[in-house]
Amino acid sequence: MAYDEELAERIRDLIEPGPNVTEKKMFGGLAFLIGGNMAVAASRQGGLLVRIDPAEGATLIDDESVTPMVMGGREMDGWLRVTGAPIRDDTTLREWVDRGVGYARSLPAKH
């Protein structure tokens, strides 16, 4: 399954363009990077992948629409998968995208 192009376009509209913002096809999805750090992605498995402060992960998971990201059979600390209502609603999607972008901006840029 390819990533949701409509979701990718909505994410693109929410991220302020700039020299440190790039898009890259990764893992079958489309990732949005800030300073070389992945912030969010439209996933090939559906939904949004969001990079977060690992210390906040447990407080954000609801086991329905917000779950840990799993890759290769293991949960990825600092990453969440967001599906369903939270990404259909523009306001809530913006909150998730802003969360991922904000965390990626807090990290040292990769060169």
Kindly state the percentage of the chain with pLDDT values over 90: 82
Rounded Cα–Cα distance for residues 38 and 36 (Å): 6
Residue ranges of domains in the chain, CATH in brackets:
5-106 (3.90.1150.30)
Q: What is the pLDDT of residue 17?
A: 87
* Mean pLDDT of the region 60-64: 93
Longest Cα pair distance anywhere in the chain, in angstroms?
Answer: 37
Rounded Cα–Cα distance for residues 46 and 4 (Å): 7
The answer to whether the beta carbons of residues 11 and 60 sit under 8 Å apart is no
Residues 6+ apart with CB under 8 A from 46: 1, 4, 83
Per-residue pLDDT of 78-103, as tens digits, reads: 999 999 998 999 999 999 999 999 99
Q: What is the pLDDT of residue 87?
A: 94
